[in-house]
Amino acid sequence: EPEVTQTPSHQVTQMGQEVILRCVPISNHLYFYWYRQILGQKVEFLVSFYNNEISEKSEIFDDQFSVERPDGSNFTLKIRSTKLEDSAMYFCASSVDIISPLHFGNGTRLTVT
Amino acid sequence: DQQVKQNSPSLSVQEGRISILNCDYTNSMFDYFLWYKKYPAEGPTFLISISSIKDKNEDGRFTVFLNKSAKHLSLHIVPSQPGDSAVYFCAASAQAPGGTSYGKLTFGQGTILTVHP
């Protein structure tokens, strides 16, 4: 079964550094998402992306965050200047259309020191 | 954010019996509900969904019930198997402005299900 793949599985970075988390969504999917889960907290929505633009974003997704689909297969999340509180598991997801369930990747654990 | 709540942090069930996981929501704009299962070190895996025009949806051993007036949904697993042991998340969404997607999911905090052989 096709799956969403995320790299790296674990990223350690120093506060203030830029990080890019990478995702390859399922190939025929058109909607792309980033979610995150801080340890001990709920999975929370960050951003949705469709037709090469952000369709919706949460209050968490401030100017430090950006997303990009640089080519036909990758979908990236960039955090410009990481803070300690950005430490979390970041999940990429995709869906084939507007109503279909989201398929999630296995996540990237980001640790900011 | 308490819009979606799973009040039972854990549930323990004997193999072969029914598992019932519950979820409550407060936002009356939610009209699409999903259950996801999550194993450690993996992402959430979609199990079953239901839209607000229905009150029941069934897929094999999994049935989701929706009570809109009570703003409550439940997931029934019958019969439960040891491989069902995982964290179960309830999630809800409402169509985004402009009708672009149902992809903004609001998750509950999860219920750890343990099925004993």
Q: Which CATH number goes with the domain that contains B112? A: 2.60.40.10
Domain that holds residue B87: 4-116
**How many domains does one find in chain B?**
1
DSSP-based three-state secondary structure for A48: strand
- Residue-level pLDDT at B100: 65
Q: Which residue has the higher pLDDT, A2 or A76?
A: A76
In angstroms, the separation between the Cα of residue A85 and the nearest Cα of chain B is 18
**CB-CB contact of B61 with B67 (8 Å):** no
Q: CATH assignment of A5-112?
A: 2.60.40.10
Of A56, A58, A104, the CB nearest to B43: A104
Report the residue of A3, A26, A45 to disrupt the B interface, i.e. the one with the largest count of B CBs within 10 Å.
A45
Residues from chain B contacting residue A107 (CB–CB below 8 Å): 42-43
Residues from chain A contacting residue B37 (CB–CB below 8 Å): none
Kind plus residue range of the DSSP H or E element containing B10? strand B10-14
Residues from chain B contacting residue A103 (CB–CB below 8 Å): 46
**Cα dihedral across residues A21, A106, A48, B30: positive or negative:** negative
Residue A70: count of CB within 10 angstroms of its CB:
9
How does pLDDT run across B18-67, given as a tens digit for each residue? Answer: 999 999 999 999 999 999 999 988 999 999 999 999 999 999 999 999 99
User: Is A33 in the B-facing interface, judged by CB distances under 8 Å?
Assistant: yes
- Residue-level pLDDT at B1: 62
**CB-CB contact of B6 with B23 (8 Å):** yes
Q: How far apart are CA B14 and CA A99, in angstroms?
A: 35
Residue ranges of the domains in chain A? Answer: 5-112
Q: How far apart are CA A8 and CA A23, in angstroms?
A: 9
